[in-house]
Amino acid sequence: MTDLKNFRFETDADGIALATWDMPGRSMNVITEAVMDELERIVETVAGDAAIKGCVVTSGKDNFSGGADLTMLQGLGREYEKLKAEAGEEPAMRHFFEASRRLSLLFRRLETCGKPFAAAVSGICLGGAFELALSCHHRVVSDDEKTRVGLPEIKVGLFPGGGGTQRVARLMQTGDALQMLFKGEQIRPLMARNMGLVHAVAPKAEIVETAKAWIRAGGSGVAPWDVPKFKAPSGKVYSPAGMMIWPPANAIYRRETHDNYPAAKAILASVYEGLQLPMDLALKVESRYFAMILRTKEAAAMIRTLFISMGELNKGARRPKDVAATNLRKVGIVGAGFMGAGVAYVTANAGLDVVLLDQSLEAAEKGKAYAHTLVTGQINKGRARTADRDALLARIRTSADYADLKGCDLVIEAVFEDPKVKAEVVAKVEAVIGPDTVFASNTSTLPITGLAKASARPEQFVGIHFFSPVEKMMLVEIIKGQATGERALATALDYVRTIRKTPIVVNDARGFFANRCVGAYILEGHKMLIEGVPPAMIENAGKMAGMPVGPLSLNDEVALDLGLKIAKATEAQLGPEAVDPAQKKLLVDLVEGQGRLGRKNRKGFYDYPEGAPKRLWPGLRDMQPAHLDPETVDIAELKHRLLVVQALEAARTVGEGVITDPREADVGSILGFGFAPFTGGALSYIDFMGARAFLDLARGLEARHGARFAAPDNLVAMAESGETFYGQAAKKAA
C-alpha cells in the first residue's frame, strides 16, 4: 500500500508487517476519520494476505499519539442536531450511535482478524491511542522517561469509548481498573507492566524488534477474553468476591463526584454491565453509554474548556501576533519567600537561569532550599535523579545585591503586598536592568496601573500573578496595566509558556479575575456562617456543588489574616461601603480576637492537629450570632448560592472589560480556583443553563439574600437577546 498518507506500511523478509503512524504536518498523531479509514485498510490487508504473519503498529514521531481528535467528536454532535431537524430524532440517534462506535468496531476487527498485532509504543500514548494498543494482542513500551500510557477521557467529561472500559476491566482486578478509569492518570512504563496493561518494557531503539520477535516466536492472534473459559481477574460480578467490590465502588463514586459527572457514572455502569457479557455485547454496552455521554452538556462544556480552549491558550491564542518571539535566558526574582521560591523553582525547572534576590543572602538561600526540597521529593519517588537536582540548583544564583539583576531578560518581584514596598523595589531594579528588560509584579490584588506609576517605563511593566503553591497550580494571570505595551505582554506570555503553565490575559482591576471570584465564594461561606448555617453544611455544600474544597477550608489555605489585611486596605482606599461589615467583624474576631490565622498557624476555621486530619474548630458555633436548624436549610439553595455568586462576578468582569475572551474566564476559573469543572467554567455555567434561566435563579437569590446577587447590565441584556458569552465573542471575532 503506497497510497497511505498517515501510515507507512512495509513487510520484512519474515513476513511481519510494520505500520508506522506518521501524520504529515502534525507534531502529534491524532485519530481522525482519515486515520480510521487507513487503519481499516491495514487490518484488512494483514488479515487477507497469507504471506503476512502479523503486524507491528508503531509511531514515526517522538510520541505515539495523544488520542482522538476531540473536534471530530464535536462534529458528531453537530451532525446529530442537523439530522434530527431534517429526519427526526430516531434516525439521527441511530446515525449518531453508529458513527460514535466506529472506532470501537475497528479495534474489535483488529483484535479478531485472526493475525497477531503488536503495539510498539514510545512517548505519549493516551486515550483512543492506548485503546488501539489495548486491542493489539501484545504491547511493548519504551523505557524512555517521556513514555506514558493512560485513559484520561474522564478529565474532559468523557469516558473511553473505544473498548477501554472493557479491556482494562479484563486485564486487571476490578477495583484497580475502576480506580484507573476514574483517575485518568498517565502511567509510567514499569508501572503499566506491573499493572498488567502492557507485556514488556524495552529500550526505545528496540521496541519494534521486540514486538516483531514476539510475532516471530508464534505470538497468538487471539485476545485472552476470546479464549473459551476466560475468567475475569476478579471473578463474576454476582459472586461473594464481586459483592465485596461493587457496593463500595458505588459509595466511592458518590463520595467523589456527588453525582455531578455523568461520565464517571457511565464508567461504573459500563464495567458493571460489561463484565456480565461476552466481549462483543460488552463493547456494544460501552458504545451506548459513550453515545449518551457524548450528548451531555457536561461533556460539551468540558471538551470545549479543558481541551480546545486550554489548548488554544497554551499555544498562544492571546499573544500579540506582530511581536517577534522572545529569547528568554535569564530571569530575576526579587523576594525569596514562599511565592518567590516557588517561581524560582518552576523557572529553573524549565531550563532558565535564575537570579534569586532578597534582603540578605541567607534569606535568598532559604528560598533556594525550597527548590532542593521539591526535587528531593521527586528523587525519593523515582521521578528525578540526583544529577537533575544538581543541574537545577546550579541554575539558581542567590544574591542580596540588585546589581546582579543586570543582564536579566525578565524580572519578577514577589515581595510583600504593600504599594510602598513594591515601589522601592521597582526603583532599585530599574536602576540596574537594561532598556529591553521587562518588569513584572506578582501581586495578587493590587492594580498594576497603580504599581506602574513607580516605574520610569510603564510600557515595560506587566502583572504576572502566580497561584499558590506555584509548582502545583497550572494557571497564571497576566495583567495588562493601562500603559503595558505589546512587547511586555508577549514576553510574559512567552515566559509562562516556557514554564509550561496556562496563561490568561486580563485587564487591570482590583483583584483581577480569579481573586474576585474566589473572594465572592469565600464571602458567601462567611455570610452563611453568620446566618447560622452549620459549618459542616457549608463545607459539604461547596463540595457537593463541585468545588474542590468548601469556602471556609479555602479561606484557611489563603490565610485569614491576609483576607483581613485586604479588607482593611480596600476600606482605606475605597471607603467603608467597599467591604462587608459582618465579614470584616468575623475576620477581626478570628484573627485579632482568637489568633486564628489559618492553616499556616494550624488554627483557622479548622484545627490542624499534628499527624491527624484537620477538623472544623468547635468554637465556630460560639462565633455565630444565630443558629439554624439543619433540617430547615435548603442544601440545593446553598449549592446555587456558592456557584451563582462566582458566576455573577465572572459576568461582571466581562461587563467591565477585565475579561475580554470567555475562554480565559472558563479555563481560569477551573485551573485557578477549581470552579465546578463539570460546568465548563464560570461563564459556561451561565451559557449552558441559558442566560434567562440563570437570571431568574440569580433574581430569586437576590430577593432572599441581597444585592450581591444582582445581575450586571451585560447579563440582563444577554438574557433579553437570548445570546451567550461565546456567541458574543464569536461575533466580535468575525
Supply the residues annotated as catalytic: 465
Element (H, E) at 621: helix 620-623
User: φ and ψ at 121, to 5 degrees?
Assistant: -115, 130
**Are 210 and 140 spatial neighbours (Cβ–Cβ below 8 Å)?**
yes
Cα–Cα distances in angstroms (integers) from residue 459 to residues 440, 449, 463, in the given order:
11, 10, 12
**Are 193 and 137 spatial neighbours (Cβ–Cβ below 8 Å)?**
no
Q: Under the phi-then-psi rule, with left for phi > 0, alpha for psi from -120 to 50, and beta for the rest, what region is 552?
A: alpha
Q: What is the DSSP string of 659-698?
A: ---HHHHHHHHHHHH---GGGTSHHHHHHHH-HHHHHHHH
Residues 617, 27: Cα–Cα separation, whole Å: 53
User: How many angstroms from the chain centroid is the CA of residue 668?
Assistant: 10
Helix (H, G, I), strand (E, B) or coil at 338: helix
Task: Tell which residue, 392, 530, 29, 373, has the closest CA to residue 522.
Answer: 530
Task: Tell which residue, 192, 177, 171, has the closest CA to residue 125.
Answer: 192
Element (H, E) at 474: none
- Segments in 164-228 forming alpha helices (H): 164-171, 174-183, 189-194, 207-216
Residues 401, 424: Cα–Cα separation, whole Å: 14
**Are 277 and 285 spatial neighbours (Cβ–Cβ below 8 Å)?**
yes
Q: Which amino acid, one-letter code, is at 25?
A: G
Cα–Cα distances in angstroms (integers) from residue 457 to residues 96, 565, 627, 711, in the given order:
58, 29, 55, 38
Cite the beta strand spans of 583-721 per DSSP E: 606-607, 615-616
Q: What would the grid cell of residue 406 be?
A: 543586570
Residues 209, 381: Cα–Cα separation, whole Å: 31
- Helices and strands: H and E segment counts in the chain: 32, 18
Task: Tell which residue, 642, 593, 601, 580, has the closest CA to residue 620.
Answer: 593
Q: For residue 496, count other CB atoms closer than 10 A to its CB.
A: 23
User: How many angstroms from the chain centroid is the CA of residue 116?
Assistant: 37
Residues 418, 609: Cα–Cα separation, whole Å: 32
Helix (H, G, I), strand (E, B) or coil at 629: coil
